[in-house]
Structure formats: structure tokens, C-alpha cells
Amino acid sequence: MGQPVASKGRGATPTVGKAMLNKYARAFFTRVLTPFAAFLIRRGVSPDTVTLIGTAGVVAGALVFYPMGEFFWGTVVITLFVFSDLVDGNMARQLGRSSRWGAFLDSTLDRVADGAIFGGLALWYAGIGDDNILCAVSIFCLASGQVVSYTKARGEAIGLPVAVNGLVERAERLVISLVAAGFAGLHKFGVPGIQYLLPIALWIVAVGSLVTLVQRVVTVRREAAEADAAAQESQGTEAAK
């Protein structure tokens, strides 16, 4: 997920709020996970190994438990392994190994994990869940999440800042979906009506992802136009000399 970008005017409050939440949440988990990260380092475990194991755990939790309707236990497994995303970064900082390869691997495997989560939900609704509409919504969440990430990566690859803080980015997609799935799984423990949280959450993520995609496309279009205009102006000035 991209770093929040400060903005001016009335729209600044949500952005600043998200930045502060991200800052304090990361600070808390850094303090909690630093001893565990140090322990793994002493045992000779590399950050890349933690990244791979974490992704494998998320994929297994999503594709084994979710298609069977075991949303509570699936979410427990996924949540435990999701924390590897913080552990590997903590290990890299302790080792002083901030590498392009590590960043690439982490970002790539994040997409794999996200695809597994929504793919597992789609498999449930395509099978035992027997709901083609929610299956389609789950697939849309999967695809739109990948495209939202791609738009930022592609925009940055062509030299644009993509200075936009989307409505529903990766962290929001995961939190909304996993919290809803976990609570929906309590239906098997006798909690009535709570299973409807998951469909509601999927619709929220789908709509939010679409809005975020539009935000990023509009931002890239504006930044590209500004960059092209600046380049033409620079060329005109050089030609006039």
C-alpha cells in the first residue's frame, strides 16, 4: 500500500487520520514483533524465508478453509501469517538489508496472498455457498485489487508520483474482508444472523475498490498531462535559446 500523501483543504482530514493510524499501528507492532524478529535472525532465518512462509500460510488458510465454509478458522490462520509481512520488514531493518529484491518479492507475494483470499471466497460461493452473484463479487474484488495495485506501480514506473490516497487500498481491503469473514464464521458456533456480514463486506470492498481505481486513473491522467505540458514547455524554451 502506498504511503499516504498529505493534501490541503477539507479533504485533508481523512488522509491525515489514515496516516496517523498507520503510523501508530506500525509503531505498536514494531515494538511487539522486534524480539521475535531478533530471535529468527539469531536462528539464521532470512527475511525472504519469512516472506515465503507467510505467503504460503495465507494461501493455505484461504484455499483450504474458505472453500469449506470454515471462515473463522481460516481467518485465524490467515491473520497469524499476515503478520509475517511486518516481521520480514523488521528483520531487514535489523540486518540493514534494505534491498530492491526484497521489496519486489514482498510486493509480488502480497498480490498472491490477496488473490488467494478472494479466490477462496469465490470458491465457497461457486460451490457449497451456492451464490453466483457473490461469487462474481468476490472475483471482482480479486481482479480490482490487482488492477488498483498495478495502476500505482505502472504510474510510478513511467515517472509519475501517483499522489492519491485511495478510498479502499490494500490494508482496508484486507481488514474489512478478514474481519467480516472471521465474524461470519461464528455462525457455525450458534451466533444468529452474523453470516450476512461477509456479503456486506464484499460489496463494500468491491465498490470501494472501483472508486479507488477511478481515483488513481484520474490522478495518473492529470499528472501525465502536467508532465507532458512541462516537457513541451521545456523543449520550447530550449529551442528558443
What residues have CB less than 8 Å from 30, skipping those under 6 apart? 86, 90
Reading the block at residue 188, the C-alpha cell is 457455525
The answer to whether 221 is a known ligand-binding residue is no
pTM of the predicted model, to two decimals?
Answer: 0.83
* pLDDT at residue number 239: 67
Say whether 114 counts as a known binding-site residue.
no
Per-residue pLDDT tens digits for 18-68: 444 455 566 777 788 889 889 999 999 999 999 999 999 999 999 999 999
Whether residue 51 is annotated as binding a ligand: the answer is yes
Contact 213, 144 (CB under 8 A): yes
Residues annotated as catalytic are: 110
Is 89 marked as a binding-site residue?
Answer: yes
Going by C-beta distance under 8 Å and a sequence separation of 6 or more, which residues neighbour residue 159? 227
